Amino acid sequence: MNYTLFKDFLQMLEQFETETQFSKSYPGTVQGFKNWICDHQTDDRASEEPYWEGKENGRTAESAINTLLVHLNRYAKSYSKSAISDSEFSTQEDFIYLINLKAFGEMTKMELIKKNIHDKPAGMLIIARLLRHGWIEQHDSEADKRSKIIRISEAGRIALEQQMKKIRQATHIVAGNLTHKEKMELIRILNKLDRFHYPIFSRNIHPENLIETVYSEHL
């Protein structure tokens, strides 16, 4: 018997159990162990530059990133549409607004709109729709009487809870076959992009000047 190989195998198995005992990313099965080994081999190749469609013809990485983000957004919307197909929600924005109000508490209309990266007209339409359904409530702001403070209503909580199982399933599907480590790395990268873009978005730069302004200031 090759005892060195057996010893290496036991050390690897111990590492697998240590890394996964508090995580559900890999089941404690032979298949889970095989997936863990495969993903660790993938990590070793992560430093290699990936291929993207059109690369051989000079297509840039920035072009590939833009296209892939657009595609992923469309995939996510299709799953969200399925999650609310049997409900009174009209769009995914309806339940996303409610989720934000439930998670972060009451806020002004503009704070909610900004949090969801919408312009004011689109955001006000969503808020008006939620008010018509009775899913949110509003009252005057004590700090600024011109502003309205909105919060999720009990009816809104009920409507949201009725769909949460499917909404959670949709979010799991969007993450696809990424490993736990890949999910953490993706969150880190997307957070970095979000921190770059959100201050620019918050400035409300006119569309005619947006690209020129951002390109001259940052790139």
Strand order in the sheet with 136-140: 107-108, 148-152, 136-140
Q: Tell whether pTM > 0.85.
A: no
Residue 156 backbone phi and psi in degrees, to 5:
-65, -40
Tokens of 9: 């195998």
Amino acid letter for position 59: R
Tokens of 1: 């018997």
DSSP letter at 196 equals H
DSSP string, 56-87: GGT--HHHHHHHHHHHHHHHHHHHHHHHTTTS
* Secondary element (H or E) of residue 45: none
Model confidence band, residue 44 (pLDDT cutoffs 50, 70, 90): low
**Is residue 164 over pLDDT 60?**
yes
**Is residue 22 over pLDDT 80?**
no
pLDDT at 85: 93
Please name which of 190, 188, 177 lies closest in space to residue 39, comparing C-alpha atoms.
Answer: 177
**Is residue 203 over pLDDT 80?**
yes
Lowest mean pLDDT among 20-34, 150-164, 167-181: 20-34
Model confidence band, residue 4 (pLDDT cutoffs 50, 70, 90): confident
Q: What pairing do the DSSP bridges indicate for beta strands 136-140 and 148-152? A: antiparallel
Lowest mean pLDDT among 13-27, 93-107, 125-139: 13-27
Work out the mean pLDDT of the chain and round it to a whole number. 88
pLDDT at 41: 64
Mean local confidence (pLDDT), 67-72: 96
**Is residue 94 over pLDDT 90?**
yes
Q: Which residue has the higher pLDDT, 151 or 148?
A: 151
Within 13 A of 150's CA, how many CA atoms are on the CB side? 24
**Is residue 9 over pLDDT 90?**
no
Lowest mean pLDDT among 15-19, 100-104, 160-164, 166-170: 15-19
